Structure 1
Amino acid sequence: MKHVEFAAATGYKSSLTLPRAPMLRQDIWKSIPNAEQLADPEDVFALAWRTHRAMSALGLSEKTVEQYTKGGLVIILDRHYDAGTDRYSDKILDRLVGERRLQYEQGQTTRALYQNLRKSAYWLREMHRTGNITVGRIPNWGQREPVEPFQTLLKEFSVSAERTMAKTSLKVARSAVRRFLFELEDHGFSTLSDISPINVNRCVTSFTSHYAGGLGSAISCVRLFLHFLHERGLTATDLSLSLPELVAARKMFHEGFAEDELDRLLAHPDRDTAIGKRDYAMMVLAAQSGLRACDVVRLELGSINWRTREICLTQHKTGEPLSLPLEPESGNAIADYILNGRPDTAIANIFLCHTGVTRPLDARSASAVISRHMKQAGVPAERRAFHALRRTFGTRLLQNEVSLELIQQLLGHRDMNSMKPYLSIDEQGLKMCSLPLLFRGEVGGRR
């Protein structure tokens, strides 16, 4: 204090730089920003605190808010404090999300952890720019794109593949080809002229490390891309021939639900509540129609002809039209939800989200609904979720000796090979077809 008075009285300015006070790390769970922080639009803690409160105001569950806060906002705050600043920084946000995305792509973290951080960062940025947050699709964050001419080639391949591929298959193909093009770039190739079969194999070998599953499908997509390049006259040889044929994958028979499991599952939703009515209607419809989750959530009020008791839709996966009979139980459940549970809104989709802003339910949420009821009803998961209802439908048709051609039509598949994996093993049918086991000494009538 005496030193300060002396400096003020004499006008003496010391060249000594006093150390900066350590950054105050505020806990979003325990601390509340003061009036000065709330009035400062650049204070990162105040922004994070507002974002945390806005999540609850959107109607997100307490568990969801906790996931986004612990897995996102807290990490973002710590990164700012580690950088020695309490001022909001787009650069810190971009760097953090970029690092987490790279970890996800390299298999060092899960998709859920990456998404929690990415969504929290998006909402924090939105709060900084607009003073509010909204529910909606989060755009890609700093996603890497191929360099030219690879980017143009990818677009041309996608346009060509649209004629023969379903939307979901095209999305898988684009992702696999992008990854392959990144490997070419990382190996020092920026044009097609220097690429040889050996180089293709090297890139594919490195490319495989990014796939814990689905590698065969990814390599098939790359093979299609390389063949496309040759057909366009862009490569002297057909480089697709240089890719090795993979060993045939082990075929899995996908099991649906047993009769008692399906009964427990359908009995679990509380049909006295709006959400219970919705969940029951979705489950009984999927079990009686075999519709995919992506098609169930896209059903609109006009998709059902109540006079003819028929469902008419265009399948999201294949783009093909499909008409199915509406069973009485499904019709009654859907009508009960529409009349007594569905929010009053102009949205055309039948099945809506009941938390936060009213919006159509998406396929991932629908699958989560089934998983939640399975767990609560004591139905073992065993790699089953919404799609198991579709498998159950196919299995019941098979057990009732419906022809495979008709099952194919009802499941909405383009060809027989796409339909067969969805049909689980008919255990009783196999027992009827089985041959008795003969002892070695009885073969040929000799003992």
Structure 2
Amino acid sequence: MTDTLRIPDEIAFKAIDPKAYADGSVHEAFRWLRENQPLGRAELEGVEPFWLVTKHADILEISRQNDLFHSGDRPTTFTTKEAEAAVRQMTGGSPHLVRTLVQMDAPDHPKYRVMTQSWFLPQNIRKLEDRIRQIAREHVDHMAALGGECDFVNEIALFYPLRVIMEILGVPPEDEPRMLRLTQELFGAQDPELNRDRKEAMDVAAGMEMMQGIIADFFMYFKGITDDRKAEPKGDVASVIANAQIDGVPINDFEAMSYYVIVATAGHDTTSSSTAAAIWGLAANPEEFAKVKADPSLIPGLVDEAIRWMTPVKHFMRSATEDTEVAGRKIAKGDWLWLAYPSGNRDEEVFNDPDAFRVDRKDGKHLAFGYGAHLCLGQHLAKMEMRILFEEMLPRLKSLSLNGEPKLAQANFVGGPKTLPIKYEMA
């Protein structure tokens, strides 16, 4: 590999460092990469070499070609050599602790995706609109009752999408706190304030043991739900998963449990982050708040801009199934590629003034839901939840401002605001 393609170590490290996502400095690293080395090689100690893909067009190009760039052959999210070896030892050779849609490729991926796909189509989720609006109103009423100050993340944003997805999945309200805790422990594993052991640094063995424990807790919980829905199916997604068949054979427990985990976690966590991002963006930019207050038809634009601006899913990894070329770079069979979604979503060639938060932005389409076969299954539901919440909230909000410094989670895979102190007046 010629040195001209190698990314300087300090820049490559920023891209993988969870703390750089918490303090925002990762955006400076991505800006440098887009200008100087938009598709370069990271060769860091203790890590398999990988390509860092930072341009919107290149991320699209790779995401579009699902036969050429696989999700499941190598780890689907970034890991170190030591951690990957530990996972393979635990699983008998697989690089994955769970097997969800994101770890699958064709022919399995489309078969598993279609199991629940109809649940999340626009025409079907429209039937849920009245119930979601009722849940949204309850949360806006709660916000009003808090008396003009709150931590929007920990008092509103975490709970609204959680209630919606748990109803769809079939998890009773009394179990929602457990699901929230497990989700935060799973996605917040790199953050000392969110991880299960509340530790700043862990060795690989301790980290693996922690992750195994979280996944085991999820599996144990959903095993009870599966047994219940097999005995007595209901009209929820849990019943669909519990009774699913692939190629005429009932889905196995490991894959059923993995399916529950992806719906139960990704189904609310990313929406919570984007919902909080919208309020953060409006509180920090009074002119944007005034625009959307004056013109509610801008709410869908607010939703998309919040998702772009925060980009809760920070990366997925892909690996090349044969020798190929992307943006003039020769990619060898087996090469590992990091798709940097926050970078693609701030690409100056696609978005004008990309760091700014603008509710009436017309330029470019964000990549926060992915693209191609792995396009997020729940994107329509997420956008509908956010739209309904702001339709209910904005007419009642007279003023909105930050009431302290927001904090972001330390996470290089999935993360968003951890605290968001705001002040507001309700009508």
TM-score above 0.5:
no
Higher relative contact order (CA 8 A, sep 6+): 2
Q: Which has the higher strand share?
A: 2
Larger Rg: 1
TM-score normalised by structure 2 residue count:
0.26
